[in-house]
Structure 1
Amino acid sequence: MGNSIVLYGLVLLLSSFSFYKDKQKTQAAFAKAWKIFTNLLPDLLAILLFVGLSLSILSPAQISALLGQDAGFLGIILSLVIGVIALIPSFVVFPLGATLLENGAGLAQVSALMASLMAVGIMTIPLESRLFGKRFAYARNLSALMMCLFFSLLVMEVLG
């Protein structure tokens, strides 16, 4: 909470200074920020709804059973599969990971999920194939998947 107060205070101070220096630029910046926020809001709400529903359907015990430390390698594979299929914006991945950890998921399993959400995209292969070619798209996604698996196994070995 203390960090939030400091950050909000800093934002208020710097915004006031910016407003004092150039009123029009500051207003334009706030207008642009508001437009970006309203464009992101539907995605944010959908993701919050998805996470909220998932957490209301799955108890911490179920999350721990599926993605907990005791789930081991099978939990890592499940996390990788979910991460490869899901299409979640990158700014949501880290809060989602924190929420899963708080509800009993294991570090290796969450790292596999987060890494695969960020690096692998089955849903985006058609676009990637058109831009870079099929061979490159499949090779990139496969190598990213292997690195996610390696990374999560490393996390399980070192931190598990």
Structure 2
Amino acid sequence: MVFNNTFIFGLLTGISLLISLILDKDKTFLGLKKGGKMFFNIFHPFLNILILISIVLFFIPDSVIVHYLGANSGWSGFGIAACIGSITLIPGFISYPLAATLLKQGATYSVIAVFITTLIMVGVVTMPLEIKYFGKKAAITRNILNLIAAVIIGIFVGWLM
């Protein structure tokens, strides 16, 4: 049997939950109740955002994306990758194949690095949700610092490759 991260984290969660139940059933059930409530409060807005972005990306042909993020796009491609990555909300299992397609069609590694890094680390679309839970200052500061880090990572990857 091959162990993957999902199985390992599930096993650790199950063991932790069992230990917590043994130590204090009331606190464990209270924690599960609060966690479930938080999950459902976050789930609906997240699902709506994911559906909206998926529909938009469905109507944008790959050729248009490649044109603006390709090897001949220069610094503007770099900036566009940062903007697109910052405002889109797509999971890794969609973004990594998209990145592979962009590479095959001539996009640079630095553009892909900025796109993937901003996609994962910067969340303009999810900013209202983040502000709600972490506060305006923390959300904005986190996003700005991650955008700067993404650009630095892109420059570094371009230098390496």
Contact 1:68-1:75 at 8 Å conserved across structures: yes
In the alignment, which residue of structure 1 is the partner of 2:33? 31
User: What is the alpha-carbon distance in structure 1 between the residues aligned to residue 8 and residue 123 of structure 2?
Assistant: 36
1:50 is aligned with what amino acid? L
CA distance 1:50–1:105, shift in 2 (3 Å): farther
Per the TM alignment, residue 116 of structure 1 is displaced from its structure 2 partner at its CA by 8.1
Q: Find the partner of 1:101 among 96, 101, 106.
A: 96
Listed as ranges, the gaps of 5+ residues in structure 1 are none
Structure-to-structure mapping, 1:7-18, within 5 angstroms? 7-18=9-20
In the alignment, which residue of structure 2 is the partner of 1:112? 114
Per the TM alignment, residue 37 of structure 1 is displaced from its structure 2 partner at its CA by 0.5
Name the SS of the counterpart of 1:2 in structure 2.
coil
For the aligned residues, what is the CA RMSD?
Answer: 3.9
Contact 1:69-1:108 at 8 Å conserved across structures: no
CA distance 1:17–1:75, shift in 2 (3 Å): same
Name the SS of the counterpart of 2:31 in structure 1.
helix
Contact 1:69-1:105 at 8 Å conserved across structures: no
Structure-to-structure mapping, 1:3-82, within 5 angstroms? 3=4, 4-59=6-61, 62-67=64-69, 73-82=75-84
Give % identity.
20
User: What is the alpha-carbon distance in structure 2 between the residues aligned to residue 111 and residue 19 of structure 1?
Assistant: 44
Contact 2:121-2:146 at 8 Å conserved across structures: no
TM-score (norm 2): 0.60
User: What is the alpha-carbon distance in structure 2 between the residues aligned to residue 72 and residue 99 of structure 1?
Assistant: 25
TM-score (norm 1): 0.61
User: What is the alpha-carbon distance in structure 1 between the residues aligned to residue 76 and residue 151 of structure 2?
Assistant: 12
Instruction: Give aligned pairs, total.
Output: 139
